Amino acid sequence: MLAALLFVIPAMFFLVGMVRDRRRLSNAVWLGITLVMLLLLLARAGRDNPVISLPLLLAFVLALLGLLLLPLALLANGLVMVRREGRSLGNLLSLLAGLALIGEMAYFAWGIGQANDWVRGSAIGLFLVSAYIAFLFVSLLLYSVIYGRTGRRSGFDGIVVLGAGLLGSRVPPLLASRLDRALRLYRRDREAGRTPVIVVSGGQGEDEHVSEAYAMREYLLERGVPDADVVMEDQATTTEENLRYSRELLAGRGHTGRVVAVTNNYHVFRTAVLSRKQGLRLQVIGAPTAWYFVPSAFLREFVALLVRNPVVHGLACVLLMAGGLALTQVG
């Protein structure tokens, strides 16, 4: 009975959180804890039941193989990012993560067999920290997918397109994917008899010839969107400002209905979390991103979420430890 409750309780918190507000960061944590408790319960139930134990064993072997190959995959992705996007710190994230994982694995393999208690303890501690970070990463990744695939897809009064860097005055593929996604939403609502307004949001960077908003507006006008349906917000320099300034601009024009923000898929959940923190009622929808760009981009999102929400991931650590200890006591 207690073992079942250890699964049911976090599952209920997850479901209630989804119903109340899908943008809660804690939803990702509850999802991760629910899945961990489910796996532990299945492992206990499969001790003498090959129908359960064999699939779990296969899943464990595949997960272990994936863990061993992950550093190599990150290294390969990092090299692709450097070759295609340049050597900025953001583009080096997957490469650095791959090197860090290889170093952690090597240190653990060496340190666990040492006679010195401090060395052995540090190897175990480093492994546990890495496992915990991996838990948070997988939880956020899974929930980001769930968030991105649920929710309303039409019936909006305002469509906010978040800016991204330009190539001089040209819209690059990353930003074009956001604009194309907004265009599909706009045309779908127009066909249904609605008259949504598209807000293009983004200021001008030091290496940009025009503001992001201006370039985005020109992109939409060239594709048949009437000038009256495109509103420029050309002051924002961060995602928070994109959301706040655009919502204020819409409200000033009398558009107080449903609003959707469009960004790339890796950026969806963090944008949703930021909108909730600002008290903005809007949904976020993602646009496709080049495959090689996603690992580094999502690593950036992950780090940003952890840095700005230490209480949530601290809570996850406590709950996981409590649940794991309780399960070991259940016969």
Cβ–Cβ < 8 Å for 187, 227: no
43-57, 133-147, 271-285: least confident range: 43-57
Three-state DSSP at 258 gives: coil
SS3 letters across 173-187 = HHHHHHHHHHHHHHH
Q: Which residue has the higher pLDDT, 273 or 46?
A: 273
pLDDT value at residue 9:
86
Q: What is the pTM of this model?
A: 0.84
Q: What is the mean pLDDT of the chain?
A: 85
d(CA 183, CA 170) in angstroms, rounded, equals: 18
Per-residue confidence at 51, pLDDT binned at 50, 70, 90?
Answer: low
pLDDT value at residue 286:
93
d(CA 171, CA 209) in angstroms, rounded, equals: 11
Query: At residue 327, does pLDDT exceed 50?
Result: no
Query: At residue 210, does pLDDT exceed 90?
Result: yes
pLDDT value at residue 320:
53
pLDDT value at residue 331:
46
- pLDDT tens digits, residue range 217-264? 999 999 999 999 999 999 999 999 999 999 999 988 888 788 999 999
What are residue 197's DSSP bridge partners? 158
86-95, 115-124, 176-185: least confident range: 86-95
